[in-house]
A and B are shown apart, each in its own frame.
Chain A
Amino acid sequence: MKKLFALLLAVAMLMSAAVSFAEVDPANVQETLVIGTAQDVNNMEPYMQNDQINNNVICLTHQSLIMLANDASETGITYMPMLAKEWGWEDDNTLVFYLRDGVHFSDGTLMTADDVVFTYETAMDPSSHISGVLSLITSVEARDDLTFVIHTSAYSNELTSNIASKSLSILSRAAYESGMDEPYLIGTGQYKLKERVEGQYVELERVEDYWGIGYDSGDDYGWIIAPGNAKTVIFKPILEAASRVIALQNGEIDVCIDPPTTELQFLEDDPNVTVLEAPGTRLFYFGFNCEKAPFDNKTLRQAVASAIDKDTILQVVLSGKGLTQNTVLNRGVWSFYNEDDLGAYTYDVDRAKELMAEAGVNPGELTVDLYSATDDPYKTIAPIIQANLAVIGINVNIVSLDQATLKSECQAGNHQIFLWRWNVLDRLDEVYSELFSTGFATNYHHFSDPYVDEMAVEILTQKDESIRYDESVELQKYLAEESPQVPLYVANLVIAYRNGLSETYLFGGGNHNWAHAYIDLSAK
């Protein structure tokens, strides 16, 4: 019964975007909301970072032109208006945004299209960390105070996704030109930074003259720009997971991000705590270096794919709190296709042995290195795969590396097989291009196939949605057959919190929006 309740609650919370947040009685709002995180905030300069923990903070202090919806697969609406009230392609090279009137930064200055131009030009500078994903943009301009125009070298279905990213939160030109310290802290969001003590906490206070108070958005999305409810929001890093759980039970924090699955039972038994479990989007996978022997042999890749027991991996790593999957696309992304006719090579040891024979590899004659990161969950997954492959006669040496080294080695192509993860919220090309197309730095598979390259571009630029959907499904089937990757599982999003947490906007991958979240004292 309790699990059913938790499930219903999870669905309700994730669906919260579909309805406006209810009127909040300030008397029932706990003044401070403390969020216990697994990492410390390390950079609050939007375009110079792209870490989840930073984004969780930045989305309280800043806003972007549009916002990504967390329930696109149910509603069909992927992006919602934020600082822009409308937008659209004028032609294949011109994307126009019409901005809301009367938007102010937290220092009281008015935001205009000129600030948006400044933000985009700053982000497009080669020194910016996100300039790479904006390479399609040739120039930007302010047509008038409330019209912002992006000129591109080509049409793209995915450009709007980058525009919704927290890294493209709108900055104040005046703040930068004033010579003040940390001008990037000035945003249009519901909160502003009060204090950041490295290693201890980040404290945000509500902007009392926030521009969105009483603002008539003229559409159904007024709730996005509504003022914050809690007076103060604190992000407190508690790196040790068990300590984070105790801090929640003890009432020192209100929200515990990523509680370990081994501790969930204690939390579920605590009457003051609610555990939210919902489908996640972060895909953990096993990959091959396809340009190097022996895994340039497709049949051998299919044999290995058939030997991996994903259910056991999920059970051991997460006590089953996730979903195994067979397609390369992340769960929740539009056109995700995980049906039986995908043609994926799933766990079947007999078939794996047959494919080994077909690939011309005799049991016991092949020894390979599995590159794996030293941290969880990779260090747990690696020995299971080692045991799985031993059954079909492949000896595996586990090579444990820190994540930066692992990425360098994989990019350089020094590996044979590897374990990694990929978190995609909505962009298809983040999978098809960045993981599988020729020449991309993150194509650790070193997979090069003209058909995939061509289809990735086609899906990026195809304007007919139904054709695009079919093409995406076809490509997933093709990649399942080619098997450059063995998708393993998607971990559930798990968050625990004190009873009464309201108005959250959560994402399966962890890029949550806490701009309106608060503890409702009447529901505690």
Chain B
Amino acid sequence: MIRYILKRLVLMIPTILLTSLLIFWAMSLTGGDPVMTILPENATVEQQEALREEMGLNDPFFVQYFRYVKGIVQGDMGESYVTRLDVFQTFMGRLPMTLALGGTALIFSVIISIPLGIWTALNQNSWKDTAGMIFALFGVSMPNFWLGLMLVLLFSLTLGLLPSGGSGGVRYLVLPALTVGLGLAALITRTTRSSMLDVLRQDYMTTAKAKGASRRRVIYRHGLRNAMIPIVTAVGMQFSYVMTGSALAEKVFSWPGIGLLVADSITKRDTPMVTGSIILCCILMAIINLMVDIIYAYCDPRIKAQYSRKG
């Protein structure tokens, strides 16, 4: 198992290199000139050219790219064009905020969605199933910036219970986590339901019942555990998404997370911040996926055995 983890970690290196190349290339294709972002608008042509030269922007693409990669290898991801802050430190400063939001949203969604998914599967084709699926449809369809604003109107402006945005404590986390979590809960509910429906039809479930196991034991011990693989996959994928793609919710709630950082940096053509953040997001996603794989092994001993054989 440990060898498998190490192998996966080593495989991350070419993935990161390829990602950095793609991002660097994509940023170069977007046109525009970073110097225009950095200098005041009325800077002279000479000033612009001097800065371009100083930053190496006149060098060929691959020279610029290799200089960037060299910097990364030496632990230097560069400085933001806009804030002049270190890219790595800025990203790491935002990471705890995103982890807090993503983690809370995920916990909230799992608490709601797995019981709801099981409940709807056990009551397939009944009104309970329909009600659960309407909730899931609502959650999936609702744009989270709209949902966020509605929650702010209700809980913040009308009831005055929670702050409308910003950060600073648990109270500030409730509304953004609810906004992101509802969307996640809907997806996980659907996955749980369909996975449970598959498992409930299996012969071993009938056998378990025939052996006199309690309904609770049949569902949770024999059913849920076997249904967990697709659920863990969905949770892992959604967590990756939340960690890197909650820009809209973060904007509505002024939550200073990674999504907002990347979106804002793209708008300002802050190339070092965009490239560095996406590379770090890529590493983050690779780690989350690795964690999901490890959880697979604990859910299903057959997978663990497979990892051990492959080494």
Contact surface of A with B, Cβ cutoff 8 Å: 42-43, 45, 48, 50, 126-127, 129-133, 135, 197-201, 236-240, 242-243, 246-247, 249-250, 252, 375, 401-409, 411, 430, 434, 439-442
Contact = CB atoms under 8 A, between A and B. Distances in A.
Contacts of A411: 36
Contacts of A246: 152-153, 156-157, 164-165
B30 A405 contact: yes
Given A43-B83, A243-B252, A249-B157, A199 B44 contact: no
Given A132-B44, A250-B156, A405-B31, A240 B251 contact: yes
Contact of B84 (A48, A237, A403): A48
A518 to B, nearest CB: 21
B261 interface: yes
A439 B45 CA distance: 9
B256 interface: yes
20 contacts: A42-B82, A126-B47, A133-B42, A197-B93, A198-B93, A240-B145, A240-B254, A242-B252, A243-B149, A247-B163, A247-B165, A250-B164, A252-B166, A405-B31, A405-B269, A407-B41, A408-B31, A409-B32, A434-B42, A441-B48
A45 B79 CA distance: 15
Contacts of B28: none
A188 B27 CA distance: 41
B50 interface: yes
B142 interface: no
Contacts of B260: 199, 239
Nearest to A131: B47
Contacts of B33: 404-405, 407-408
Given A238-B254, A250-B164, A404-B36, A132 B83 contact: no
Contacts of B252: 240, 242-243
A239 B164 contact: no
A232 B263 CA distance: 31
Given A242-B149, A407-B36, A430-B42, A252 B82 contact: no
A239 B148 CA distance: 14
A243 B36 contact: no
Given A237-B254, A250-B163, A404 B156 contact: no
A396 to B, nearest CB: 21
Contacts of A403: 36
A199 B94 contact: yes
B69 to A, nearest CB: 24
Given A199-B256, A236-B166, A243-B152, 5 more contacts: A48-B84, A126-B50, A238-B254, A402-B269, A404-B269
Interface of B: 30-34, 36-45, 47-48, 50, 54, 82-85, 90, 93-94, 145, 149, 152-153, 156-157, 160, 163-167, 251-254, 256, 260-261, 264, 267-269
B32 A129 contact: no
A408 B30 CA distance: 12
A89 B309 CA distance: 87
Given A130-B40, A404-B36, A198 B85 contact: yes
Q: Which residue, B157, B160, B261, has most C-beta atoms of chain A within 10 A?
A: B157
Contacts of B166: 200-201, 236, 238, 247, 252
B96 to A, nearest CB: 12
B41 A243 contact: no
Contacts of A200: 166-167, 256
A246 B252 CA distance: 11
Of A133, A247, A404, which is in contact with the most chain B CB atoms at under 10 Å from its CB?
Answer: A404
B174 to A, nearest CB: 15
A3 B34 CA distance: 44
A131 B51 CA distance: 12
B80 to A, nearest CB: 8
Contacts of B165: 238, 240, 243, 246-247, 252
Contacts of B54: 127
A273 to B, nearest CB: 12
A240 B44 CA distance: 34
Name, among B30, B36, B251, the residue most crowded by chain A CB atoms within 10 Å (CB to CB).
B36
Contacts of A127: 54
A171 to B, nearest CB: 16
Contacts of A197: 93, 256
A424 B137 CA distance: 52
Contact of A132 (B47, B94, B157, B264): B47
Contacts of B85: 198
Nearest to A439: B45
Nearest to B163: A252
A247 B261 contact: no
A235 to B, nearest CB: 12
The 10 closest A-B pairs by CB, nearest first: A199-B256, A405-B32, A404-B32, A50-B40, A408-B33, A132-B44, A404-B269, A404-B36, A42-B83, A407-B36
A199 B157 CA distance: 23
B155 to A, nearest CB: 10
A249 B264 CA distance: 26
A129 B44 CA distance: 10
Contacts of A247: 163-166
A430 B40 CA distance: 13
A74 B209 CA distance: 90
Contacts of B153: 246
Contacts of A199: 93-94, 256, 260-261
Contacts of A129: 38-40, 43
B258 to A, nearest CB: 10
B218 to A, nearest CB: 48
Nearest to B89: A198
Contacts of B93: 197-199
B291 to A, nearest CB: 27
A434 B43 CA distance: 10
A66 B30 CA distance: 42
B5 to A, nearest CB: 33
